[in-house]
Structure 1
Amino acid sequence: MTIHTERLAALRAHLATLDLTGFVVPLTDEYMSEYVGDYAQRLAWLTGFKGSAGSAVVLADTAAMFTDGRYTLQVREQVDAADWQFVQVPATSMADWLRTNAREGDRIGFDPWLATVDWVAATERALADVGAALMPVDANPIDALWTDRPAPSPAPMTAQDDSLTGRTSADKRAAVGEWLAERRADAVVLTALDSIAWTFNVRGSDVARTPVALSYAIVHADGTAELFAAPGKVGEDVARHLGNAVTVRPMTDFAATLGRFAGKRVAADPDRAVAAIHEALRRGGATVVAERDPTVLAKAIKNPVEIAGHRSAQARDGAAMARFLKWFEETAPSGTLSELSASDRLEAIRGETGLLRDLSFDTISATGAHAASPHYKATVESNAPILPGQLYLIDSGGQYADGTTDITRVMPVGEVSDEMRDRFTRVLKGHIAIDTAIFPDGTLGGHIDGFARRPLWEAGLDYAHGTGHGIGAFLSVHEGPQRIGAPNYPGGGPLEPLRAGMMLSNEPGYYKAGKYGIRIENLLLVVECDIPGGDLPMLAFETLTFVPIERSLIVPALLTHAERAWVDAYHARVEALLTPLLDNETAAWLSAKCAPLS
């Protein structure tokens, strides 16, 4: 019996003592974060699944793991099929599965600090259809069993200087106050950690790879605010940075404070503020105004200072990537590299800039079949040698004070197959189609997603993930609300109109199970596009990432004249931007990599 089988049995036994026949285990924290601290990794503790998106349901005689297409292979490698069914979303939702598998009289528990109000309502309806009930718990039953559960991070907050943010916290809070006045609301509860970091111009190190601090905030209509954090997290320097209009209070005061808004109108985001917060406000006599967090869109539309900082971070990161790719090309054919040694080398090179704060996510360093799992993470147990004949994929990024980066490149190790080169070129064609797209202001990301897929569709191929995600300014590497992805592909959330100032990734791919994976990723900035004689305000993309794309994997005959011109022009810009940042030997290597296609 494995440790995770034992834990599943222990959870079922403990649920019985609570008069529960089941329990829901999401991969999130009380802030509805995508990436969570070690203390909130309950799903991994129970199942062994190490992906960044998923959930589980445990019933008395069955259990199910819910993941999307990014984790089809990974979940089967990490989770015991003898204990768990594997259910793919969005094809089958958790509510649909419960409607089929729950029994009359079931009492299925959930943690109201880890669930949204909409999820609760949908799940209650599904269970009611079969005569079962969804039951909130006062304490998460997994925490009673997880005896060596890590404590939340005690790391202090830090101030993000206004020279890097482009706007003061007072200005941002005043804008929130105006938003509240328009809705005749008295206050808004901010719960998303990146929203709080952005609003107050603070950062932290409480979540690996994401510079945020565990906290809640309430912003009032007059622009004043209350910031709730653990004792010692807000030092004197940050308190001075926040100013007298922000009151710092202990985290333990937060729940009680929610009950002190009787007769007031309080805004809370139904997607970001958990069900427990909505319920506490209602119990206290507040009228809950269900509105999207007012900082989400403002944070997504980068100001000129943030854009300039991002360009600087991209150039610095691009030079580091060039140094790494040169090293890899020279070293990999020896057969001495592994997935972990390669990713370690890239992190070290980034660190040599002296400005790296952290990686922006755990590096996806994947060779051969491992690259067919889009979110594969190499471990000591899975670490594979990088061997001739394979494609090596590295998806990585850095956190710098002036910007967050995210880039994917694929390198051949020795000779690779014609099929690999064909697929690589089709992915590149899709990448170029997004990069060069021109579209009306207000276009949804889903409207252009098919541009990237068409070259693959023409060969009967596709990829099971979205084409692009938003990105933060020294914040989360995955930032909404913008994205490029059709509703039937994983990516999450309703689609948002694209607006000038938004940043997105452009990362089509192709994955052949058991063989190889391909993805080409750059970051883009949405910009206004003036078309003389046109009737509509139009938008386009400005490329932000400049790192060579492996020319030996390109089949020129598959490219149109315009696509070939794009590749040559892109590489000319790569060489011009990076050469001044490189030593002579690396600059010479880069020049060869950026030569025009023959």
Structure 2
Amino acid sequence: MNQFTERIEKLREVMAEKNIDFYLIPTADDHSSEYVSDYYKVRNYFAGFTGSAGSLLIGREMAGLWTDGRYYIQAERQLEGSCVSLFRMGSDGVPMITDYLKAHLPEGGTLAFDGQVIDRTQGQDYEKIVEAVHGRILWDKDMAGQFWEDRPERSCAPVFELEEKYSGKSRKEKFAELRRFMDAKGGDRVLLASLEDIAWLTNLRGGDVTHTPVFLAFALIDRERVGLYVYESAFSEEVRAHLMEDGVALKSYMDIYRDLEGLDGGCLLYDGTKVNYALARSVSEKVQVLPVDINKMIPKSIKNETELQNLRDIHIKDGVAMTKFMYWLKTNIGKIDITEMSASDYLWELRKNIDTYLDLSFDTISAYREHGAMMHYRAVPETDVALEPADMLLVDSGGQYYEGTTDVTRTFILGPVSDEMKKHFTLVCKSMLNLANAKFLYGCSGYNLDILARGPLWNLGIDYRCGTGHGVGYLLSVHEAPNGFRWKKVPERNDSAILEAGNVTSDEPGVYMEGNYGIRTENEIVCVRDEKNEYGQFMKFETLTWVPIDLDGIDPQWLNPEDIRQLNVYHEQVYEKISPYLNRDEKEWLARYTRAI
């Protein structure tokens, strides 16, 4: 019996004592975050699966991990030898957790979970399932977490202010806009729990989640004051003074639950997908609750002109680092020892030298040969392999800078590759450029446009088991709703909103051949207005990412004249924007790798 099965068996003993049929452990924190700090990795502790998405359901005689297509391969390997079965979300015949519970929760049964890490909307779904069998929910204790010996403390990293030259708007202006929204809805208060939304609203950043510069906080806002529930030791005297001037009062982090219980009437606005179940259950019965869409209330996904100009600037700096990395990799492969990890470290050093660098935006994916087929592979000493002058290396990486967040993927040809690899590499490039060059009427979402990227691969009878792209925050999470590209709507992803001018989205089609190789080419693009005529407002995309696409992988027979024109235009712009920052040898090399084909 491995350690994870032993931990599950101990939890089952308590479940039996309390007559609990199923215990649910999601990947979440008190704030519905996608990425969480170490304190909240209870699912990892019980299952050993380290992916950023997945929920563990433990029954008396079953244990199942539900995760999406990005993590199928990783989850299979990490669950091997344990009692946990993999449920491949989105695959034919695989039920969602709610469907599984509907089928297996017995009459009068009990479902338990920690109400602080389940959002209100999910909690309501579970309530309906339990009510149907006249059962009960236990939600007020972190029952699983109590077994975690040496559990890390909640993070309390220093909080800093983001200057207006980066944010483009003062927090007082943002507070005023939020209060106008509140008035239009007839609300008296707003409750915020999402860390990214609070950070954006207050023009503050922190370090409580790895690679996502946010701080643990709740916010309760009325017409006069902003109550910010935090770990106060994270705030310097200077930051506190500035907040006080702007009408922000700091309060103790856990006091939010008590203060919600003490509300005496009025109308409270919140988004049920961004407020945890325990918070919602704490709201006084005297209060009217009005559900709202967080993305309409906190429009952080629509970047302002200051943010957009900053992003244009930082993508050139970031592109220089990526181009220097590509030059180093391509000219040294087979001459010096390079591994997945040492390549990743070299790229990190290049980014760290950028003057406004703060952190990576996620753990770099440096994936050679078959590792590239694992969409979110991370090299560690046990898996690190040497790179050879053959096959392909996929590198997905990005940085957090004062001027914004970057995310870029390139697949590098290190030596001889098969004709099939070149075909797939070329069609992934075509797919990315097809979408980046789209022109469309306002009102379209990524759901309408995804076929432009996926179509060339569907024509081969292949697909990639993920979306084509995700929204990107501004010095926030590298994954940001509500904009994205995917061919079918996935409600829990919340990324099918109408594309608005100022939305920044990744464009990253790929091919993943399990056990052989993976290919992904990713640029960030921003939605902008184009012409307006009798048919309506047309929209298009402006490219933000400027990094060569490895021409050693391009087979022109798979491109039509328009594809070739798009690639040549892109490479011409890459050379124009990046070459001024390179030395002579790098510049000569870049001219060759951005040549017209």
Other-structure match for 1:120:
123
Asked whether the 8 Å contact 1:176–1:219 carries over to 2, the reply is no
C-alpha distance in structure 1 between counterparts of 2:314 and 2:405, whole Å: 7
C-alpha distance in structure 2 between counterparts of 1:296 and 1:569, whole Å: 39
Superposed, 1:306-325 pairs within 5 Å as 306-325=307-326
C-alpha distance in structure 2 between counterparts of 1:48 and 1:94, whole Å: 19
Other-structure match for 2:24:
24
Residue 591 of structure 1, CA deviation = 1.3
Residue 458 of structure 1, CA deviation = 0.8
C-alpha distance in structure 2 between counterparts of 1:295 and 1:345, whole Å: 41
Residue 296 of structure 1, CA deviation = 5.9
1:198 to 176, 200, 204: 200
| TM-score, normalised via structure 2 length | 0.96
C-alpha distance in structure 1 between counterparts of 2:49 and 2:331, whole Å: 35
User: Which deviates more from structure 2 when the two are superposed, residues 2-11 or residues 265-274?
Assistant: 2-11
Asked whether the 8 Å contact 1:465–1:490 carries over to 2, the reply is no
1:135 to 134, 137, 141: 137
Cα deviation code 1:161-207 (max 9, x no counterpart): 11111100000000000000011100111111010110000000110
Give secondary structure in 2 for the equivalent of 1:473.
coil
C-alpha distance in structure 2 between counterparts of 1:584 and 1:260, whole Å: 68
Residue 364 of structure 1, CA deviation = 0.8
Give secondary structure in 2 for the equivalent of 1:288.
strand
Structure 1: runs of 5+ lacking an equivalent = none
Residue 273 of structure 1, CA deviation = 0.5
Aligned residues: 593
Superposed, 1:296-307 pairs within 5 Å as 298-307=299-308
Residue 103 of structure 1, CA deviation = 2.9
C-alpha distance in structure 1 between counterparts of 2:81 and 2:190, whole Å: 44
Could you list the structure 1 runs, at least 4 aligned residues long, displaced by more than 4 angstroms after superposition.
294-297, 488-491
C-alpha distance in structure 2 between counterparts of 1:118 and 1:234, whole Å: 32
C-alpha distance in structure 1 between counterparts of 2:349 and 2:135, whole Å: 52
Give secondary structure in 2 for the equivalent of 1:427.
helix
C-alpha distance in structure 1 between counterparts of 2:178 and 2:266, whole Å: 17
Cα deviation code 1:527-578 (max 9, x no counterpart): 00116x5521010000000000001111111111111011111111101111
Other-structure match for 2:342:
341
Other-structure match for 1:407:
408
AA aligned opposite 2:32 = M
Superposed, 1:200-279 pairs within 5 Å as 200-222=202-224, 224-244=225-245, 245-279=247-281
Cα deviation code 1:500-524 (max 9, x no counterpart): 1111000001100110001100000
Cα deviation code 1:385-432 (max 9, x no counterpart): 223432110000000011110000001121011100001111111111
Other-structure match for 1:519:
520
C-alpha distance in structure 2 between counterparts of 1:46 and 1:214, whole Å: 24
Cα deviation code 1:88-136 (max 9, x no counterpart): 224521111112233334312011111122212222333444x363523
AA aligned opposite 1:545 = T
Superposed, 1:417-432 pairs within 5 Å as 417-432=418-433
AA aligned opposite 1:25 = I
Cα deviation code 1:251-278 (max 9, x no counterpart): 1321111122221100111110011111
C-alpha distance in structure 1 between counterparts of 2:210 and 2:89, whole Å: 26
C-alpha distance in structure 1 between counterparts of 2:297 and 2:548, whole Å: 33
Residue 494 of structure 1, CA deviation = 5.2
Asked whether the 8 Å contact 1:173–1:199 carries over to 2, the reply is yes
Cα deviation code 1:229-285 (max 9, x no counterpart): 0131222121233233111111132111112222110011111001111111144x2
AA aligned opposite 2:141 = A
Cα deviation code 1:423-455 (max 9, x no counterpart): 111111111110110111121110001111110
Asked whether the 8 Å contact 2:369–2:517 carries over to 1, the reply is yes
Cα deviation code 1:447-472 (max 9, x no counterpart): 00111111011111111110111111
2:580 equivalent to 1:556: no
Other-structure match for 1:439:
440
Residue 352 of structure 1, CA deviation = 1.7
C-alpha distance in structure 2 between counterparts of 1:104 and 1:344, whole Å: 55
Distance 1:385 1:497, change over 3 A: same
Superposed, 1:44-63 pairs within 5 Å as 44-63=44-63
Give secondary structure in 2 for the equivalent of 1:333.
coil
C-alpha distance in structure 1 between counterparts of 2:134 and 2:578, whole Å: 61
Cα deviation code 1:344-403 (max 9, x no counterpart): 111011112233100000111111111101111112222222234321100000000111
Cα deviation code 1:265-313 (max 9, x no counterpart): 0011111001111111144x21111112256652111111000111111
Distance 1:489 1:31, change over 3 A: closer
Residue 335 of structure 1, CA deviation = 7.3
Give secondary structure in 2 for the equivalent of 1:207.
coil
Asked whether the 8 Å contact 2:178–2:298 carries over to 1, the reply is no
Asked whether the 8 Å contact 2:398–2:405 carries over to 1, the reply is yes
Asked whether the 8 Å contact 1:282–1:288 carries over to 2, the reply is no
Asked whether the 8 Å contact 2:79–2:85 carries over to 1, the reply is no
RMSD: 1.7
